[in-house]
Amino acid sequence: MKGGIYMIKKLYHGSSNIIEKPVFGYGKKYNDYGLGFYCTDSIEMAKEWGVSLNQDGYANCYELDCTGLTILDLNDSKYCILHWLAVLLKNREFDSTSALAAEAKEYLLKNFSVNYEEYDAIIGYRADDSYFSFAQDFVNGTISFRQLNNAMHLGKLGQQFVLKSKNAFDSIKFKGYETAEYDIWYQKKMLRDKTARREYFDVERNKRQRGDIYIMQIMDEEMKADDLRLR
């Protein structure tokens, strides 16, 4: 996808610091999409990300000129939740507590991997602790493909926009910041996570439906990305 579709995009980055110039090549490489600068188009979400217990934070505000940038949108109709999961498996540490989980990880990486490092930026889900646990449950065979899809919308976590290339870093401009008070936004962050977990256990985790597809069936039937059952 070419960035011209977006033109100038407003982005926010939650942090304990004011970041006027994001630095290419700096940060944690074990984040959802590897090394990059993680943003959101929601200032409220950035404020939640920016605070910690008993410490205020900041929602840094930016404008990104997307002209000429290649952007991987993992929510595009040509991808399914398993493409996102394969990227997550590539970067995050999963507890493969069983032979099934280890086999599932290998299968997903082989059949649903995306060449995400070729892009300037990525749009996709953010795997907070609760959402990461949903992904682990699927890999371990506890929940179905349908339940994983539904679980990712619990708590309204939204999307994240990740800058990956130097070209993308050179195209972002700092526009200011807003302070995030921990006594307001940390409580909101915890409530969002708690709501997602409660809805997950109340609505999804134990609500198997006839026809649900689990990771074992996906592997046994050698389902690939073009299988209509995974859309």
CA distance 6 to 11: 12
CA distance 4 to 100: 43
**Within-domain flag for 229:** no
Per-residue pLDDT at 3: 43
Per-residue pLDDT at 130: 67
**Within-domain flag for 81:** yes
**Within-domain flag for 231:** no
68-110 pLDDT tens trace: 999 999 989 999 999 999 999 999 877 767 899 999 999 999 9
**Within-domain flag for 75:** yes
Structural domain harbouring 42: 3-223
* Cα 33 to Cα 3, 12, 84, 121, distances in angstroms: 19, 17, 9, 10
Domain count within the chain = 1
**Within-domain flag for 174:** yes
In this prediction the pTM is 0.87
**Within-domain flag for 209:** yes
**Within-domain flag for 100:** yes
